[in-house]
Amino acid sequence: MPSPYRALFAAPGSTGFSTAGFLGRMPLSMMGIGVVTMISQLTGRYGLAGALSATIALSAAVIGPQISRLVDQYGQRRVLRPATLCALAAAAGLLLAAHFGWPDWVLFVCSAAIGCVPSIGAMTRARWAYLFRDRPELHTAYAFESVIDEICFIFGPIISIGLSTVWFPEAGPLLAGCFLAVGVFWLTAQRATEPPPHPREQLGSGSALRSAGLQVLVTTFVATGAIFGAVDVVTVAFAEEEGHKAAASIVLAVYAAGSCLAGAVFGLLRFTGAPARRWVLGICAMAVSMIPLLLVGNLPFLAVALFVAGLSIAPTMITTMALVERHVPRAKLTEGMTWVSTGLAVGVALGSSVSGWVIDAAGARAGYGVPAVAGAVAVTVGFLGYRRLSRPVPQRGGTHEQHSEREERHLA
């Protein structure tokens, strides 16, 4: 491993919490696609499958920031464990409802309750920020976290889709729940690297989302999430049309591999220019990379196109987290990072749902129009909000109200 990455793990406890975070994040790539595969296997209804996956993502988008805000106030251990138990109970209910053919409304209720799952990526990134705040190692740490995200997306869909198609339909989501339980309880057992909680008087009464820069990031990532959600659902359907449904996991893994490779290289680099400019370039690259999908004709071509598309993902995510760290008060960093995940989750919900209905109506090839349109929207929002991201950033050590007042004066 290159020396910048080795240096990260010189910090005591970093290996333990990063490993636990990896396990706890596996459901991020396994649950949604596992539900799509499970429901399509059991019912053949891609519209229902996409809607349930969207419900999980949308619920997490609503509940996730509230959980992270409680984490900022009370600490990771006190909040993550009960939240995870609620999510696991809901996941068990969803599997039982799907297996025994219970009414659709039961499936949707259980899917909504799964939204209690905490944002493990935000928790581990907050620990890195606690260890390396204002130091160059933090850029490498964020790059490492993006690589871990992509490793999850390389192996998660393979495991989830493979188990659900080869073993039994519920196997993928079931294993995702097991990963979540082990990862969260192991992570929260490591107290030495847990960021200290911030009393209510430090947090203030406002949300981290009052930051104008964070608003731009979150809004843009709604469209970006729609790209990811649509690509997942449409790729499964396209592979089935080609007669190789299980190959969808391999194709999606290639997509993640491109991002993983780019993220690993990006973490070795040091930048001196404005991060907002790199961020906009990354958003543009993601949007342009969706165009070849409209011309897809077979699975090998799709795999190559998705690999190239994946090259822009991790660098953009790394830069996004660096911008969050610049625009959000330190006492609300976990919440701020979770809001980015929330934007992605809302987008995934929209992309999954819309693409599912497009597939049912016009076939899988037409479904690739959804991520192309979403990419265009992301570019538009990114350019409109660029000035907010590129303006000078005030100090981040005060309360949110103080931070917001200073930022508003900058934007006036």
| Cα–Cα separations (whole angstroms), residue 264 to 16, 100, 316 | 20, 44, 13
- Average pLDDT (38-59) is 82
Give 404's pLDDT tier (boundaries 50, 70, 90): very low
- Average pLDDT (127-138) is 81
State residue 199's pLDDT score: 64
Domains and CATH numbers, the chain: 15-194+208-411 (1.20.1250.20)
Q: List the structure tokens of 247.
A: 């190959």
Give 410's pLDDT tier (boundaries 50, 70, 90): very low
Angle between helices 14-43 and 212-241 (to 10 degrees): 50
pLDDT in tens, 262-273: 888 887 777 777
- Could you please report the per-residue DSSP string of 143-196? HHHHHHHHHHHHHHHHHHHHHHHHT-TTHHHHHHHHHHHHHHHHHHT--TTSPP
State residue 399's pLDDT score: 40
pTM of the model: 0.75
Contact criterion met (CB below 8 Å) for 144 and 20: no
Cα 64 to Cα 279: distance, rounded to the nearest angstrom: 24
Burial track 184-220 (b if 16+ CB lie within 10 A, e otherwise): bbbbbebeebbbebbeeebbbeebbbbbbbbbbbbbb
Kindly calculate the radius of gyration of the chain based on its CA atoms and give it in whole angstroms.
20
Cα 140 to Cα 321: distance, rounded to the nearest angstrom: 12
- Average pLDDT (381-397) is 71
Q: Percentage of residues in the chain with pLDDT exceeding 90?
A: 21
Contact criterion met (CB below 8 Å) for 328 and 217: no
* Cα 139 from chain centre: 18
- Average pLDDT (74-91) is 92
pLDDT in tens, 220-267: 989 998 998 888 888 888 888 878 777 887 888 888 888 888 888 887
Residue with tokens 């947090």: 203
More confident residue, 346 or 184: 184
Task: Return the number of other C-beta atoms located less than 10 Å from residue 72's C-beta.
Answer: 25
